[in-house]
Amino acid sequence: MKKLKSSWIIHGFALLHFATAWLSVAAAIPDSRMLTLMTILMTVILCMRENVNLIVTGLCIVLANILGYYFGMEIKEDFAFFSLDSELPSLQAVSSLITTEILGWIMYLFFRYFGKSFQVEEDYWNLRFPWVLLLVGVVYGVRLLISTVIQADLYAGLEMYDYFHQFLLNYILLVVLLALDVAQVHLTRRLQIGWRLLIAVPFLFVTASVAAFFAAAKLPFDWTGVPPWLEILRFLVVAVVVQMALLSLTSLVTWSLSNRKAAVNTRNEAHKAQFQYQNLKQQLNPHFLFNSLNVLNSLVLDERSGEASSYIVKLSGLYRYMLQSEKEKLVPLQRELEYVRMYVDLLKLRFSEGLEVDIAVADRFMDRDVIPCSVQLLVENAVKHNTIQPDQPLRIRIYEEDGYLVVRNNFQPKNTAEESHGVGQSYIRQQYKDAGVDIRIEPGESEYNVYLPLL
């Protein structure tokens, strides 16, 4: 199915609709059932090609049939406006072709921008093909039932489209129905599909019945007394069809937004876990442990027990902070800077006079928030990628500027660069983007500057 291009599928079915409509009108044979079946088939094939689930396929079939009827009638009205005989075989066929093209490209654009929210495993359709046939049968049966009602004496020579048009012009009624549908979909979104259908079906008929009465009585714009039951029944058929379309559309949009949000949260959690793992691995890797234990051993051998004890306290403080902030999205700047100072103190025992870190942030900014470990990570990157010598010190300055926390260091890259995964900076950037802002990175020939927004 993936080998077929969507454009081929859409154009192919549009031509099939054109031929079927032309031959049916020429032979005086009703074409609605055959055209309906082809529309359903096109929808199923597009859904299978995009690998979306069965529920979305059903909703798309419902919408395609309802919109197909409405678009077809609108095109006929346009033909009449230009004094063209819409009953001519050629114009009937053109109307069917245009309607199919419109429906196909609407589905194509929908799947292009929202399809990933509904995608399933590759073998999904092989396992559920019997359910697809059942779904097609049910939708086709409902369509035949509505066609039978339309062709019966219910409308007595009147056009159902006129009732559609009158119903859709009642904007207040449509807004109320849409609001009720959104509330219903939102309140039942966490239930299993069976319970949702059990609630949705009576909800649809109750709201459609009330809407039919309002439309027949011309409410809320006018009141002509209690309308005849036959008029209410005519509007009921229209109201049921419109409610099916609104509920299907609301369900698709709500589900898409919910799935997108879940996907973003999952990606962020995975990225956060990867960052935390990388950060922890950096702290626990043999190189770091060797340096830390070597420094600690030197302090013990030199009988500098006070400094050794302080070193152990600060080293444990690093891990304590990482564990405490593991599940926090933001931390106060004051806590982050305390963590950075402990980290810098440990580094200075290794690099002696070769490392200069100046933290100059006013107290009034200490209650602002930053991403956990973000400042420490930038200090770590500076140490990792730059030469540190007593006669060539690395100077890192941390300060506030126009609502940003700036981490600046002089740029003196090592002759042999260490491997960089780029996970940390990517995580920081993504977390700030989720908060509605972005970090700024300004590399230069002699300085490297990173601007973190203070939240």
| Measured CA angle at 146 (ends 31, 176), to 5 deg | 125
Residue 399's H or E segment, with its range, is strand 394-401
Cβ-Cβ contacts under 8 Å for 72 (sequence gap 6 or more): 95, 96, 99
Q: Does domain 285-453 have CATH number 3.30.565.10?
A: yes
Strand, coil or helix: what is 132?
helix
Alpha carbon distance 227, 232 (integer Å): 7
Spans of all domains in the chain: 1-152, 158-262, 285-453
- The one-letter code for the residue type at 90 is S
pLDDT tens digits, 156-183? 555 677 788 888 888 888 899 989 988 9
Confidence (pLDDT) at 405? 93
Instruction: Please state at what angle helix 305-324 crosses helix 286-301, rounded to 10 degrees.
Output: 150
Both structure tokens of 26: 């020429």
Nearest alpha carbon to residue 379 among 393, 363, 397: 397
Alpha carbon distance 384, 59 (integer Å): 55
Both structure tokens of 358: 């100046």
| Measured CA angle at 358 (ends 355, 360), to 5 deg | 170
In the predicted model, residues of the chain with pLDDT beneath 50 are 284
Q: CA–CA distance from 279 to each of 5, 326, 431, 438 (Å)?
A: 45, 11, 16, 21
Sort 379 into a burial class: Cβ within 10 Å, 0-12 / 13-18 / 19+: buried
Alpha carbon distance 156, 377 (integer Å): 77
Backbone angles phi, psi at 153, to 5 degrees: -80, 5
This prediction's pTM: 0.55
Q: CA–CA distance from 172 to each of 27, 168, 179, 302 (Å)?
A: 44, 10, 11, 85
Asked if the bond preceding 220 is cis, omega within 30° of 0, the reply is yes
pLDDT tens digits, 296-330? 666 676 666 777 777 777 777 777 777 777 677 78
Sign of the C-alpha dihedral computed for residues 206, 210, 215 and 220 taken in this order = negative
Nearest alpha carbon to residue 146 among 213, 237, 208: 237
Confidence (pLDDT) at 284? 47
H and E: helices and strands count for the chain:
14, 7
pLDDT tens digits, 143-159? 777 777 666 566 655 56
Sign of the C-alpha dihedral computed for residues 321, 401, 268 and 396 taken in this order = negative
Backbone angles phi, psi at 31, to 5 degrees: -105, -5
Cβ-Cβ contacts under 8 Å for 295 (sequence gap 6 or more): 311, 346, 349, 350
- The one-letter code for the residue type at 6 is S
